[in-house]
Amino acid sequence: MKHHRIKPGSKVDLAALDASATPGARGGKKGALKLFAPLNQKLMVLQNRLWAEHGHKVLVVLQGMDTSGKDGTISHVFQGVNPMGVQVAAFKAPTAEELEHDFLWRIHARAPKSGEIVIFNRSHYEDVLAARVRKLVPKETWEARYRQINDFEKLLADTGTVVLKFFLYISRDEQKKRLQERLEDPQKRWKFRLGDLEDRKLWNDYVRAYEDALSRTSQDWAPWYVVPANRKWYRNLVVASVLVKTLEDLRLKQPEPPEDLKGVVIE
C-alpha cells in the first residue's frame, strides 16, 4: 500500500514509474496467487459484515487507459462477494439529460448507500481526462473541476463514505499488446473500438491529464493509488490488499438480531 498511495500535494510523474514493477510481492506470480486466495475470502467476510452492519459505505473508483484491466479487476477481486451489497456503475459518454445538469449529478446518484460497496468503472474523473484531452469543454471549465471533485469527495467522506481510488497504470507497449489480442481473439473482439486507436494517438496528452488529476485530487479523505498493472496478478493483489486493510480498519461488527431469540425452538 505504501508504495502506491499518492501523498496529498505531491507531484506525480508517471514516466518515473514502472508499470511492470511488483514491489512487495515475494515469490512472484506464484507467491501472489497464494496470498490472493485468503484475501478474497477475507473480503467476502468483511463485505457481508459491512452489509449486515449497514453503517458505512465504500466507493471504489477504477480509472485507467483503455485495456488497463478495469473489468478484469472487478471480476477477480470481487469474485464470490454477496451481490446484494456490491454494485458496479459504468460511466460512458453522458446522455442528453445528463448534460443538462452539472457534471457530478449523474455521479452522485450512483454513490453507495449504507452497507454498500459501489465500484465506479470510469467515473467523474473522465470530466478532467477525456473532456480535457478531447477539448469537449473550455479550459476554465475543466480547471474548476479539480476543486469541485475534491469538495464532492469530501462531502461523501464527511457523510460516512470511504473513498478509494485506483489508477491502473499500464505502459504504451502493453496496451498495444492487449489491443492486438482483442483484435485477433473472437472472444474479445467485441470489446475492440476504433475509438481506442484515436485515444491511443493522444497517449501523451492523457498521461499529462492523469498526472494532474492524481496530483491535485489525492487527499487524505480520498486517496489515489497508482497500481502498476502490466502484470494482472499484481494489479489484483494490490487492489484486494488495500480494500481488505481498509475494511479491517473500520472495525466492522456483526450486528445482534433485532429480537430476543433466547429460547426459540424451531419445530
Please check whether residue 4 lies inside any domain of the structure: no
Q: What is the CATH number of the domain that holds 145?
A: 3.40.50.300
| Residue 61 CB partners (closer than 8 Å, separation 6+) | 120, 123, 125, 163, 164, 165, 166
pLDDT digits (tens, 9 = 90+) for 55-88: 999 999 999 999 999 999 999 999 989 888 999 9
Please check whether residue 2 lies inside any domain of the structure: no
Mean pLDDT of 212-233: 98
C-alpha 211/C-alpha 77 separation (Å) is 26
pLDDT digits (tens, 9 = 90+) for 154-190: 999 999 999 999 999 999 999 999 999 999 999 889 9
Please check whether residue 194 lies inside any domain of the structure: yes
Burial class (CB in 10 A: 0-12, 13-18, 19+), 86: buried
DSSP helix/strand/coil, 169: strand
| pLDDT of amino acid 174 | 98
Instruction: For 4-152, list the strands marked E by DSSP.
Output: 57-64, 86-90, 117-121
β-partners of residue 165 are 61, 224
| Residue 85 CB partners (closer than 8 Å, separation 6+) | 47, 48, 50, 51, 115, 116, 117
Mean pLDDT across the chain, nearest whole number?
A: 94
Q: Is the pLDDT of residue 2 over 80?
A: no
How many separate domains does the chain show? 1
| pLDDT of amino acid 263 | 77
Please check whether residue 257 lies inside any domain of the structure: no
Q: At residue 65, what is the residue type?
A: M
Cell numbers standing for residue 228: 502498476
Range of the domain at 198: 14-249
Please check whether residue 106 lies inside any domain of the structure: yes
| pLDDT of amino acid 261 | 74
Please check whether residue 132 lies inside any domain of the structure: yes
Please check whether residue 140 lies inside any domain of the structure: yes
Mean pLDDT of 140-158: 98
Residues of the chain above pLDDT 90, percent: 84
Mean pLDDT of 113-141: 97
Lowest mean pLDDT: which of 25-34, 58-67, 228-237? 25-34
Q: Is the pLDDT of residue 27 over 90?
A: no
Please check whether residue 183 lies inside any domain of the structure: yes
- Radius of gyration (C-alpha) of the chain in whole angstroms: 20
The number of angstroms, rounded, from the C-alpha of 184 to the middle of its chain's C-alpha atoms is: 28
According to DSSP, the β-strands at 117-121 and 86-90 are: parallel
Q: Is the pLDDT of residue 258 over 90?
A: no
What kind and span of H or E run contains 162?
strand 161-169
C-alpha 228/C-alpha 127 separation (Å) is 23
Instruction: For 9-109, list the strands marked E by DSSP.
Output: 57-64, 86-90
Q: Please choose, from the candidates 210, 248, 240, the residue with its C-alpha nearest in 3D space to the C-alpha of residue 226.
A: 210
